[in-house]
Amino acid sequence: MSAPVLLVLGAGPGIGLSVAKAFAAKGYKVATAARSLQDGVDEDGFLRIQVDLAQTTEVEKVFTKVTETLGIPHVVVYNAAYRIPRDAQDPLSSISLEDVKSEFAINTIAPLFAAQEAVKGFKQLPSSASRTFIQTGNALNTIVLPSVLTFGMTKSAAAHMIRSASVGYKSKGFKFYYADERQPDGGPTIPVNGPAAGKAYVELAENPEQGPWDYTFIDGKGYAEFK
């Protein structure tokens, strides 16, 4: 059998690269896509694709290129994020339509269409394949931070998409996760620990069953439920 394929969208030098290396260590062929990358193959042997995820029409092109070059992605990680800080004491001021469009495009709409493309591929893969979609999330679907009001709106919407997909595709064996690293006290981890994310995402991909869709995890411990 050919090696499974991982696609990381939003593959920066932190979380994205750590996740890519964690899966490569498990024998995956890896494709990374980000605006900062140049098309080609890097020193790790990863297929690199330049993409601006604010242009959501580019998502399908990435999947097409990965499928033609490496094969259908077995695991898709959406790691891109765009945040515009707000005045915590006056969060509704200075909000422009263009800013909101950009945040929603990268944080909500692009992952929606990435999940759609992932499912197209999952339907063609055997049941033994991982068929896992993971979005790097944060605590903003459960907590309020006025300083990132619109960013929180986009992440909450994305979390709802992941939850809906985890229910809708469970019978088909497709897995969906909103992965959120936390501190032991339940507080957010800023920034997310790249190697910890890589370890957690590999474990999610290797688990044949759908686990908690809102996968809150602690470095060194794994999944932890927070109220």
Distance CA 177, CA 165 (A): 9
Maximum pairwise Cα distance, the chain: 57
Helices (H), the chain: 15-24, 58-69, 97-104, 110-122, 149-168, 194-206
Surface-to-core class of residue 43, CB atoms within 10 Å of its CB (0-12 exposed, 13-18 middle, 19+ buried):
exposed
Whether residue 155 lies in the annotated active site: yes
Token couple for 143: 């907590």
Catalytic residue from among 21, 101, 123, 155: 155
CA angle 84, 180, 218 (to 5 degrees): 130
Are 224 and 212 in contact by the 8 Å Cβ rule? The answer is: no
How many other C-beta atoms can be found within 10 angstroms of the C-beta atom of residue 91? 17
Active site residue ranges: 155
